Amino acid sequence: MTIEDSVDQVCEGAGLVAEFDDALRMLTGKWKGEILWRLTQRTHRFGELKRAIPGVTQHMLTTQLRELEADGLVERTIFPEVPPRVEYTMTPAARALRPVFEALFQWSQVHGGGLRRNRSKTTKQPSASRGT
């Protein structure tokens, strides 16, 4: 089903919009996009993801990975070794999103810089030193 196909159904009820919102919620989070992008490349251990994503804290990475796992997008495998080894990989449901990520990546290459510049113009705070 496409967005165009669903217009009549959306008018009949909010079910499809709610499903779309739920799907977006699964993907939103400061680090989820980058986590999923990294996992499209290959399986990663926790420490590899932590090193590969600058600025993410251990707590936030753990939280985001747990949410992705709960949503069925990431699979966590614990190996019975000492020390324990934990690997993260995408589930088939998440792998099905790869064309979406690639399209979004292409879109960002065309529009990302301009949008970022526009956002910085509109979010600048007024100077704190005003003459009173």
**30-110 in CATH: which number?**
1.10.10.10
On whether the CB atoms of residues 32 and 68 are closer than 8 A, the answer is yes
Higher pLDDT pick, 53 / 12: 53
Return the CA Rg of the chain: 19
DSSP state of 80: -
> What span, in angstroms and rounded, lies between the C-alpha atoms of 94 and 102?
13
What is the pLDDT, as a whole number, of residue 132? 46
Residue 44's pLDDT band (boundaries 50, 70, 90)?
very high
Mean pLDDT calculated for residue range 15-43: 89
Domain boundaries defined on the chain: 30-110
